[in-house]
Chains A and B, each alone.
Chain A
Amino acid sequence: MGEMKVNLCGIELDNPIIPASGTFGYGYEFAELYDINILGTFSFKGTTKDARFGNPTPRIAECEAGMINAVGLQNPGVEKVISEELPKLAKCFDKKVMANVSGFSVEDYAYTCEKLDKCEQVGWLEVNVSCPNVHGGGMSFGTSPEAAAEVTRAVKAVTTKPVLIKLSPNVTDIVSIAKACEDAGADGISLINTLLGMRIDLRTKKPVIANKMGGFSGSAIFPVAVRMVYQVANAVKIPVVGMGGVSRAEDVIELMLAGATAVEVGAANLVDPFACRDIINDLPRVMDKYGIKSLNDIIGGAK
């Protein structure tokens, strides 16, 4: 069997598969379905300084080969995540978890990251500067190199763990933003978050989603992910975590060839709760089929 281990910012992963934030809760609910210790790790639900209910419903719209969500960072707030969610997770997950963090100001990001950085269970901080579903924050930090760098510097100043900055695809020049994060001290880049999208109901003649627009994800966006991972991986020296429409083992290989060190799986978990388990189980077969002995060897292999 081929070697699936990869190293993400100094922490070894048994395999590169990481359920993406917002599609896996705080993990323990999927642990009722299968042993989540088979995962490389997972990125937990986007966490903010204060508790948030998020946007009004409907928050979900279906698309061809994908879906739009406008959840709006519903989460119990960092204090409760640390006091309630992480202890529940500890009972079913022995590995380091990736802490996904969002905010509405540079101070918010720093505050939440500093708290989570002290948690032993946390291996990496994934700083989301790309949520399309909240106003006055989120994506606005990820659409300019200066703002993204400012968040990066503020988080790095108060943390010790590897910091990955999660970028938005809703920009004209992804490379300049990724490089600004690298220059500001980021240990890795993860991308892509969802693409801003919208659906309209022909019957009501109104937007399907209460918030009107939302983040488009699912297999339809996979080619955009491949392109952006390729562009960024060829421009920075730090590791890139690739995501966007991954639903099968072949997609994982493709994103790694584009330059991803590890691969997150998002919307696929919502359609098939066993998606990550099945991808991990299928990876050896696909590696074999394409003559791949070690996944580590193929990272950025497509030139």
Chain B
Amino acid sequence: MKQGLFDIIENTALTDNVMKMVLAGDTSDITRPGQFINIKLDGLYLRRPISVCDRDGKTVTIIYKVVGRGTEQMREMQSGSLDVLTGLGNGYDTSVSGDKALLIGGGVGVPPLYMLAKELIAKGVQVSVILGFNTASEVFYEKEFEALGATVTVTTVDGTKGVKGFVTAAMENADYSYFYTCGPEPMLKAVYNASRTSGQFSFEERMGCGFGACMGCSCKTLYGNKRICKDGPVLVKEEIIWEK
């Protein structure tokens, strides 16, 4: 984990309430896809944990949905700098993907899969991506995944774009050796039940610190208690206990 000041160099809308922000600063501690950063905002006590969509040597890209005070404040920022903790969370393990990886994202669970797809493709893995949204106007990053060389299937619950239904509708005929997923918990559970191979799940929880100190985001797994922020957010299929 590193603490640093990051300059806002881009903050643009992808949909009505989903924003893309690019921050420039020391990204050296972001080592794996699926990690997150934790942002301090003026006047708000706790930091805002947001998953990393992409990073290079100088910038980190995050995609966030405007849902409350913190993200509303972030939406208005066009310049300035932010106090950010980087390199948080375990992230996805790309070494176990086999030759055909299936990436399944729902809503703002999509962004961390972008850096994951990029790294898997760079390793020569064949990547298929299922991007699930409620409706056509909420869809983002379809073209960006295609530009990486991934095969993309979009699903919408109301059928206004792509395959009608949930992400699981597009999983039935997919051919994959391993899968990675991120999205709301009901979606993760559906993916768990529909999947035919092992895979990795990225979870979300209300966090205090985001770096393993407060035990605010603990969960039970078959391998013992884990902290979503430090031992997660990525858990493997074989250890998950569904409690909620």
Give how many A residues have a beta carbon under 8 Å from the other chain's beta carbons: 36
- Complex CA–CA separation, A269 to B85 (angstroms): 13
Are the C-beta atoms of B209 and A271 separated by less than 8 Å?
yes
Summarize B's interface: helix, strand, loop or mixed: loop
Are the C-beta atoms of A30 and B213 separated by less than 8 Å?
yes
Decide: A271 near B206, CB < 8 A? Known: A54-B215, A69-B216, A74-B225.
no
Decide: A64 near B45, CB < 8 A? Known: A53-B225, A58-B206, A269-B209.
yes
A242 to chain B, nearest CB (A): 21
Are the C-beta atoms of A274 and B3 separated by less than 8 Å?
yes
Which residues 241-268 in A have Cβ within 8 Å of B in the complex?
267
Contact with A along B194-208 (1 / 0, CB 8 A): 000000000001111
Count of A-B contacts judged by CB separation below 8 Å: 89
A244 to chain B, nearest CB (A): 15
Decide: A24 near B213, CB < 8 A? Known: A33-B1, A67-B45, A273-B1.
yes
Are the C-beta atoms of B218 and A53 separated by less than 8 Å?
yes
A120 within 8 A of B: no
- Complex CA–CA separation, A25 to B215 (angstroms): 8
Contact with A along B208-222 (1 / 0, CB 8 A): 110111111111100
User: Which residues of the other chain, A, contact B214 by a CB distance below 8 angstroms?
Assistant: 22-23, 60, 69, 71, 270
User: Which residues of the other chain, A, contact B147 by a CB distance below 8 angstroms?
Assistant: none
Are the C-beta atoms of B217 and A57 separated by less than 8 Å?
yes
User: Which residues of the other chain, A, contact B215 by a CB distance below 8 angstroms?
Assistant: 22, 45, 54, 59, 71, 74
User: Which residues of the other chain, A, contact B219 by a CB distance below 8 angstroms?
Assistant: 57
Picked from A60, A63, A65, A74, the residue with its CB within 8 Å of the CB of B208 is A60
- Complex CA–CA separation, A22 to B213 (angstroms): 7
Decide: A53 near B220, CB < 8 A? Known: A273-B3, A273-B85.
yes
Are the C-beta atoms of A57 and B1 separated by less than 8 Å?
no
Decide: A60 near B206, CB < 8 A? Known: A53-B218, A54-B215, A74-B225.
yes
Are the C-beta atoms of A273 and B218 separated by less than 8 Å?
no
User: Which residues of the other chain, A, contact B47 by a CB distance below 8 angstroms?
Assistant: 271
Decide: A66 near B45, CB < 8 A? Known: A57-B206, A273-B3, A273-B209.
yes
B201 to chain A, nearest CB (A): 16
- Complex CA–CA separation, A59 to B67 (angstroms): 20
- Closest B-chain residue to A268, C-beta based? B45
Picked from A22, A33, A59, A271, the residue with its CB within 8 Å of the CB of B45 is A271
User: Which residues of the other chain, A, contact B40 by a CB distance below 8 angstroms?
Assistant: 271-272
User: Which residues of the other chain, A, contact B77 by a CB distance below 8 angstroms?
Assistant: none
Beyond A32-B1, A58-B205, 13 additional contacts (C-beta under 8 Å) are: A22-B214, A23-B213, A33-B1, A53-B225, A54-B218, A57-B206, A57-B216, A62-B45, A64-B45, A69-B216, A271-B46, A273-B3, A273-B211
- A positions within 8 Å CB-CB of B: 22-25, 29-30, 32-33, 45, 53-54, 56-67, 69, 71, 74, 208, 218-219, 267, 269-274
5 contacts between A and B (CB under 8 A): A23-B213, A60-B46, A71-B216, A219-B45, A267-B45
For the complex of A and B, 9 pairs with smallest distance between CB atoms: A270-B209, A60-B216, A58-B206, A60-B208, A74-B215, A71-B215, A62-B46, A60-B206, A59-B216
